[in-house]
Amino acid sequence: MTNQETTTAQGNRPLRLGDLAPNFTARTTLGQKSLADYRGKWLVLFSHPADFTPVCTTEFVAIARAADRFAALDCALLGLSIDSLYAHIAWVRAIEEAYGVTVPFPIVEDPSMAVARAYGMIDEHAQDSSTIRSSYFIDPEGVVRAITSYPFNVGRSVEEMLRIVAALQVAERDGVLTPEGWLPGEPTLRPPGTDLASIPAGPDWFCSRAGTS
């Protein structure tokens, strides 16, 4: 297909945690990009229903303002919608003019919905993208480690996106678990033991703290 290629090993089934993220090459607001360009670092690939819409605009303003915080986690950002490249460019310029915010990350055009369908963002027979508001948290090896999906009328939380990236990184690096609402610097949890000798003493042996990360 012109200016855009997608590959997937999942066939027609929905993308699942642990799957290799489908590769694609497409035009973006910052030149042609491939998912493979992001190997070696964390990536949040996030989609939105349409440019010039209220909820999407608030999300992009907030994500752009938090771009340095994602960069501090060595995590890249990549937006996507079915709008054309020129609609993306016009919207980015309108955001800068209206809010004084520069969108520093690329936005992928997906007019054929090929990427959206490869990732299971929309049904393969859907005629529009009205339900797309998904985020894919992809590790340096290209593996999908978390997925969030929201309806078109509810915006995402940028703080939660940052928290998910940080939690995934700490769990991977330290071999620990992160409890409900965990934030960087707070105590983590030890993975449960597999035999009596490895289980700590005390009434909370099944939910014991592992220290701060």
The residues that are catalytic are 56
Count of CB atoms within 10 A of residue 205's CB?
12
User: What's phi and psi for 6, nearest 5 deg?
Assistant: -130, 145
Kindly state the tokens that stand for 20: 């290799």
Contacts of 106 (CB under 8 A, 6+ apart): 28, 29, 30, 31, 33, 78, 79
Residues across the chain: 213
Residue 165: strand pairing partners = none
Kindly state the tokens that stand for 70: 């994602």
What span, in angstroms and rounded, lies between the C-alpha atoms of 171 and 179?
11
Contacts of 16 (CB under 8 A, 6+ apart): 10, 144
Contacts of 183 (CB under 8 A, 6+ apart): 163, 166
3-state secondary structure of 162: helix
